[in-house]
Structure 1
Amino acid sequence: MSLSRTVITIIALALAATSVEAMSSRQTCKYRGNVYLDNERVVGSTLTCTCSGERWVNCQANVVADSLEHVVADSPEYDMSIGSVPSTKESIRDVAGVEGAISGLIGAQVGFDAFLNNFDAEDFVIDFATQPLESTGLGGTSQPANRNNVPVIQASNMAQTRFRIAPCGINLPHVHPRGTESVYIIEGALTVGFVTEGGRLILNDVKTDQSTFFPQGLLHYQQNMACEPAGFISILNSSDPGLLVIPAALAELPSEALEATFDEDAAFVNQLRIGLPAGPARGRAECLRRCGLL
C-alpha cells in the first residue's frame, strides 16, 4: 500500500472514531434497540414525539384532518385545531412506538391495544431509583410516576409516588380532587389521618407492611413522629388525580378572608404566609430535639 493511501486510511479511521465519540456524547433516546438524537422526531402508530434530553417529549396523538370526527369534541384538554396535528408528510423516521411524556392524547379515541404497542416490555416497570425528585421541602422527598413522565401508566388510569419522610417530617395536609389514594408503608412508621365531610378525624399509626387509604377529595396528611426515616408508596386510582396543598392554597386567599377565617389581624396573616414551608416539611422543634436533630 502506498504512503498516500495509508495516510488517507488513517485519516478516515480517525474521522470515524471522532464521529462515533461525538454521537455517544450527545444526549439520545432509545427505543427497541434504536438510538435517536436530540430534536429528532419519531412517528409511531398512535403518537408522534420528539427526543429531548434522553426523554421523548411533546408527544401528540396521530390524528389526521379527515378523521377529526373520531376525537371527543367536549374534551377541554385536546387541541382540536388542524395546525396541532403532526404532519405525516415530513421526512421523519417511522417506528412502531415511542416512550416519554404524552401531551394531546387525552380525548383521542386511540385503540387500547394500539396504545400499548407504543411501548416496550420494560416501559411497564417503574424504577423509582431513576425517577427525578419533585419535592423541595426539608422534611423528605417525593418521586412521582404519572402520565407526564411514565406515559404508559395512563393505560391503567393510575398514578404512583415514592415518598421518603425524614424523622419528624410531614407530608403537608392536602387533597386529591380526582383520586382516592392508597398508601403502602415500605419503611418505618407514620401517623396518618384524614377528615370526613362530617368533620370526623380518622387517625391511625401505620407501620412497615401495612397500608391505608384516603377517600377522594378528603383532607389528609402523613407524618413521621419517629426518629428513623419512613418511606411509602402512594397509589392513586387516576392518572390525573390532582393535588391541592392546603397551606399553600390558603395563602393565596385575600388577607381580609384569612383575617376573618382565623379571627386575627393582618400581622398574623402576614406571618402565616411568610412561615409556610414547602413539603414534605421539617418537623417541629419538640420532635427534632427528642430525636437529637436540633
Structure 2
Amino acid sequence: MKTMLFIIVIILSAINESSAGDPDILSDFILPPGNTTVDGNFFTYTGMRVLLDAPVPTSFKVFKASMAEFPALNGQSVSYAVLDFPPNSVNPPHTHPRASELLFLIDGTLEVGFVDTTNKLFTQTLQTGDIFVFPKGLVHFQFNADKKYEAFAVSAFGSANAGTVSVPNSVFNSTIDDEVLALSFKTDVYTIQKIKAGLGGKI
C-alpha cells in the first residue's frame, strides 16, 4: 500500500512539474494564424535597435520582447525585457504571474528586492555584471538610487508571456471602491483619492 501511494505521489509530482511553465508544443514552432510562409525574418526581432545611441530617458523605461512583440516566441517559453533606469528612478513593485525573472545588470548599480509569501523582504545592491533572480509570482522592484548615473539591465523570463501586474496600478487605478481601499490601508477616503490623483487615476 505504501509503495502504491509513493508511486501515485511521484506521478502527481511529475504531472505538476510538467505543467508548471508554458505548455509544451507539438511542433518546432507556431506560426500566427494565416501565416503560411516562414523564413529567417520570422525568427528575428529588431525592436531593440532603438536602444542604440538613444539618449538617457527622463523616467524608467522597459523595452519588451515577449510573444506580443515577437510572435516567434509563441510556444518557446522564453522572453526578454531591457530595463533602462535614469538616475533616481524606480520600476515600482510588481509581479509576473507566469514566470520567474533573471535580471543581468549590464551597467550601473541597482537596488533590487522581492517579498516572499511570509512577507520577508530580500534585497541586494547589484553591481555591474551581477545577476539576480526574482521568483515567479512574487512582488518585486528595482531602484536606481544613483543621483548621477544611468543603470541598464536585461531580464530573461521563463515564459513567452510572463505578464506584469503593477501593484500601484492594480490597487489604485482599478475600480475598487475608495472606502474599501481606505479601510484596507487604515486611512481615509481623501488620502486614497490623493494617491489616485497622483497616479493619474480617476477620483
TM category, shorter: 0.7 to 0.9
Between the two structures, name the one with larger relative contact order (CA 8 Å, sep ≥ 6). Answer: 2
1:219-230 map, 5 Å: 219-226=139-146, 227-230=148-151
Structure-2 change in CA distance of 1:200 and 1:114 (3 Å): closer
Equivalent position SS for 2:110 = strand
Q: Quote the RMSD (CA, aligned, Å).
A: 2.8
The correspondence of residues 2-151 of structure 1 with structure 2, limited to 5 A, is 111-112=27-28, 118-120=38-40, 123-124=43-44, 128-130=48-50, 138-151=58-71
SS at match of 1:264: coil
Is 1:208–2:128 an aligned residue pair?
A: yes
TM superposition shift of 1:245? 0.2
**Which residue does 2:186 correspond to in 1?**
263
Q: Deviations over 1:125-164 (max 9, x none)?
A: 6561248xxxxx9522111001122122235311111110
Which residue of 178, 182, 197 maps to 2:117?
197
- Counterparts of 1:154 and 1:215 in 2: how far apart (Å)? 22
1:275 aligns with 2:174: no
Letter in 1 for 2:182: E
The answer to whether the 8 Å contact 2:30/2:75 transfers is no
Number of residue pairs matched?
167
Aligned position for 1:287:
none
Instruction: Establish whether residue 169 from structure 1 lines up as the match of residue 83 from structure 2.
Output: no
Gaps of 5+ in 2: 1-21, 32-36, 52-56
Structure 1 equivalent of residue 13 of structure 2: none
Contact 1:124 1:153 in 2 (8 A): no
- Report how far residue 122 of structure 1 moved: 8.0
Mark the structure with the bigger radius of gyration.
1
The 1:119/1:256 distance shift into structure 2, 3 A limit, reads farther
Measure the CA separation in 1 of the matches of 2:47 and 2:162: 21
* CA distance in 2 between partners of 1:113 and 1:166 (Å): 37
CA distance in 1, matches of 2:67, 2:39: 13
Classify the secondary structure of the residue corresponding to 2:105: strand
Q: Tell me the distance in 1 between the aligned counterparts of 2:42 and 2:50.
A: 13
Give TM-score, length-normalised by structure 2: 0.73
Asked whether 1:157 is paired with 2:54, we answer: no
SS at match of 2:48: coil
Q: Is the 8 A contact 2:29 2:74 kept in 1?
A: no
Unaligned runs of 5+ in 1: 1-105, 132-136, 279-294
Counterpart check, 1:183 vs 2:99: no
Q: Is 2:186 the partner of 1:231?
A: no
